Chain A
Amino acid sequence: MSRAPRDFAILVAVLVLPLVNCTTPDAVSKFCGSAGTTLTSASLVFDDMKLSCLREINSRDEFGTFKPPVQSDPNCNAIADQAAGAAAAAKVLSNYFGAINSLASFGTAKAGTDAQSLLSKTGAAVGASSPAQTALGSIAQFLVSAATSGYQRKQLEKDLPKVSANVSAVVSALITIVQDDYIDRQLGSEEQKLADRYREFAKDKSPEIKLLLDDRWHADEQALAAKRASAQSLITALQALSKGFADLAANAHQLTAKEVPGLLGPYATQLQALIPQIQKGF
């Protein structure tokens, strides 16, 4: 290798090396994308909070009264309003992960290629095949990629730890709402009242009718169990999301490019596997 290209290669290596030892945008982008989808799926659970309340109220009517189900109730509406607040909080988080995803997936390499192709359009000025044009193209591509990726990584390292505690607090609050208010209180109470409805109707009935009722109750119970399982999957996903984000934020300044996919990969894979499970019960 002649001296000029060798010196240029060394210069490029020196400039690029600090960028390599930073947060890897691809791994961050994949994790943020999965986190955003998880949070969007959470609205299925929050939407069912009002529906669960209404199902419980409708289960107060005995079988055979043939009354249309109620669609509105003051206390169920109050739960719906608060559930909408929870969905809005999930949306704030989803927007954050979306913005980080856009920042992480900004095409720095593409920006460089665009600059190079622009130069080739003006190649006639210096001669398309001349060494000057080739060198100009390479430098333009490198400049754009280096400038944008350096800025991109710096901003990611700044933005990630800044809200780490806030993301953790919001996720923890969402988990409390899903676990305590939805699974334990609402679905638990709905399940009890559903069973009471069957118990009340089964009183003094023949064994044959009791068997039929038992079959129907099992079907209703399975539907409730599916909703509970979906909500549990959401909790597991929110825990993975929170832990993955905390790990990333805590290590944003010191992880090498090789380590970041290793750190975030399991969380992203877990989230992707849980998303269909969250959607299953609704």
Chain B
Amino acid sequence: MAPPVPIDPVAEAGQLADLFNNLSQALDDFRLGDHTPPVPADQLARLKDEAQAMEDRAHFFTAQAIGATLQSIQPDLANIKAVTAQAKTQLTVLNDVSKVISIATSALSLGTAIAAGNPVSIAAAAEALAQTLAG
């Protein structure tokens, strides 16, 4: 027995949308054409209603086709979202690295000031370090 042919929901829904759209247009083309003898008005009105019903069906299957396309990329979207979150974390790390080095250099200045034994310099360096830690 031959293996079952896999169904492509995007193609199937799209083809149905096209089919109903073409049928609707064929009905309208017939309705708006010249006929001998002329088609009675009530029949023309019915053909118009049928063409509109076909077009509604085409809209329905267009929505289905878009939905099937979106369904097929859900795993891709999930992976992109995960990597986006990672990139945002990496940006936080960059800010942290930058801040840590600033704190280290500021602390180094304070140490140097303490070693120099100048109270005014120590106060200035300590204030700068405090500002860095607060920022």
B80 contacts A163, CB within 8 Å?
yes
Q: Is A10 an interface residue (CB 8 A)?
A: no
Q: Is the CB of B102 within 8 A of A186?
A: no
- Taking a contact as CB atoms under 8 Å apart, the answer to whether A103 and B87 are in contact is yes
Contacts A78-B59, A92-B80, A126-B116: A159 and B87 contacting too (C-beta < 8 A)?
yes
Q: How far is the CA of A186 from the CA of B59 in the complex (A)?
A: 8
A225 → B minimal CB distance (Å)? 19
Bound together, the chains give a CA A268 to CA B30 distance in angstroms of 50
Known contacts: A114-B102, A148-B98, A176-B69. The answer to whether A124 contacts B121 by CB under 8 A is yes
- Number of B interface residues in the complex (CB < 8 A): 61
The answer to whether the Cβ of B70 comes within 8 Å of any Cβ in the partner chain is yes
CB of A277 closer than 8 Å to a CB of B? no
Contacts of B93 in A (CB 8 A): 151
In the complex, what residues of A have CB within 8 A of residue B70's CB? 82, 85-86, 89, 173, 177
Closest to A149 in B: B94
**Main SS class of interface, A:** helix
**Residue B97 at the A interface, CB < 8 A?**
yes
Task: Find chain A residues with CB under 8 A from B73 CB.
Answer: 89, 169-170, 173
Give the CA-CA distance A152 to B120 in the complex, in Å: 39
* A125 & B91 in contact (Cβ 8 Å cutoff): no
Q: Which of A11-19, A191-199, A216-224, A226-234 forms contacts with chain B?
A: A191-199
Instruction: State the CA gap A56–B24 with chains docked (Å).
Output: 13
Chain A, interface residues (CB within 8 Å), range: 35 or more
Contact pattern, A 61-83, Cβ under 8 Å of B = 1, otherwise 0: 00000000000010110110111
Question: Taking A121-B128, A166-B79 as contacts, is the C-beta distance between A115 and B102 under 8 angstroms?
Answer: yes
Is B80 a contact of A170 with CB atoms below 8 Å?
yes
A44 to chain B, nearest CB (A): 17
Interface locus among A1-9, A139-147, A205-213, A255-263:
A139-147
Q: Are B80 and A167 in contact (CB under 8 A)?
A: yes
Q: Could you tell me if A177 and B66 are in contact, using CB atoms closer than 8 angstroms?
A: yes
Distance between B43 CB and nearest chain A CB, rounded to angstroms: 15
B83: interface (CB < 8 Å): yes
Q: Does B28 contact A (CB under 8 A)?
A: yes
Q: Which A residues are within 8 Å of any B CB, using their own CB?
A: 49, 53, 56, 60, 73, 75-76, 78-79, 81-83, 85-86, 89, 92-93, 95-96, 99-100, 102-103, 106, 111, 114-115, 118-119, 121-126, 132, 136, 140, 143-144, 147-148, 151-152, 155, 159, 162-163, 165-167, 169-170, 173, 176-177, 180-181, 185-186, 188-189, 192-193, 196, 199-200, 203
